Amino acid sequence: MELPPRPTLFDFHGVSMTKYFTDNWDDIQNFKARPDDIVIASYPKAGNTWVSYILDLLYFSHVSPERQDSVPLYERVPFLEMHMPGFPSGVEELNKLITIPRIIKSHLPVHFIPKSFWEQNSKIIYVARNAKDTAVSYFHFDRMNMVQPEPGDWNSFLQRFMEGKMVFGSWYEHVKGWWKEKINNSNILFLFYEDLIEDTEGEVHRLCSFLGLSAAAELVKKVTEKVHFDNMKKNNMVNGSVEEVFDLNISHFMRKGKVGDWKNHFTVQQNEQFDEDYEKKMKNTDVRFTTVL
């Protein structure tokens, strides 16, 4: 199949986006959420796939185990705003999903989330990852994902990251916007990638209690084992190997899965510049990240 071309970024209501996530805007905004829908929202590269897989296993692994080996995760957890020529759109996939609850992936900034999710009081899990590791992961992702804009070299990519000229806009605004929203909204759970790395099982328990799931300790243990980086990397239904738009010869989707890989990419000068800029952009929020474990 011929792949759609790499898109260019443009300003969409103040957020940098590409046409593959905006062409379908009316359908996205008019999406009919249900009270039992669960949204996994994140800035790109924060660990959305990881949490999607955890939830899919918690809800469905004992009900239909065969699904695990035959249906790619992106079909089980559709990507709400995706709309690409040659592929069914996220909204179409969601409208034909028969599993309950529907687990929905989104990278939308909080003010772009379709209003029916708020009206229906659907639960939302926001996954956040420190800016430096996110930037590194995003750089490698844009190299291998043929439907993302050309990343350019690392230095120019990092400058654009700081300017918010990335698909789905500014990391800083994304994270601050969702953090502010969750303060008064008990339907939002804020998860950190770094906490998931440090204590996966503890975070799976936290997810269960947020979702009101009385999962047996045994199931939680099994899920924790299955979602370990090494196991996910071997699992073709979740490791990005069936996505036609990924060129795994350039970089893997399950690339490193570490906290602190930024140290292998940032020069001393880039790090100083980044820290200085970070302080300015994040001074009006109390969300705190770990960049080393």
Residues within the interface to ligand A3P (CB under 6 A):
42, 44-50, 133, 137, 140, 227, 229, 232, 254-257, 261
Tell me whether residue 107 is one of the annotated catalytic residues.
yes
For ligand A3P, the closer CB: 180 or 255? 255
| Helix intervals (H) in the chain | 25-29, 48-60, 67-70, 73-76, 90-96, 115-119, 131-144, 154-163, 171-183, 193-198, 200-211, 217-226, 229-234, 268-281
Supply φ then ψ for residue 108, to 5 degrees: -70, 140
Q: How far apart are CA 171 and CA 152, in angstroms?
A: 19
Give the residue carrying structure tokens 């996954």: 127
From the number of C-beta atoms within 10 Å of its C-beta (0-12, 13-18, 19+), residue 152 rates as middle
Q: Nearest residue to ligand A3P, using CB?
A: 257
Q: How far is the CB of 187 from ligand A3P (least distance, A)?
A: 21
Q: How far is the CB of 165 from ligand A3P (least distance, A)?
A: 19
- Choice between 95 and 149, CB closer to ligand A3P: 149
Nearer to ligand A3P, 88 or 257 (CB): 257
Query: In the bound complex, what is the minimum distance in angstroms from residue 81's beta carbon to ligand A3P?
Result: 14
Q: Which is nearer to ligand A3P, 179 or 253 (CB)?
A: 253
Catalytic residue among 107, 111, 174, 228: 107
Q: How far is CA 137 from the centre of its chain?
A: 12
Burial group, residue 249, by CB count within 10 angstroms (0-12, 13-18, 19+)? exposed
DSSP 189: E
Distance of closest approach, residue 142 Cβ to ligand A3P, in angstroms: 11
Q: Show which residues are catalytic.
A: 107
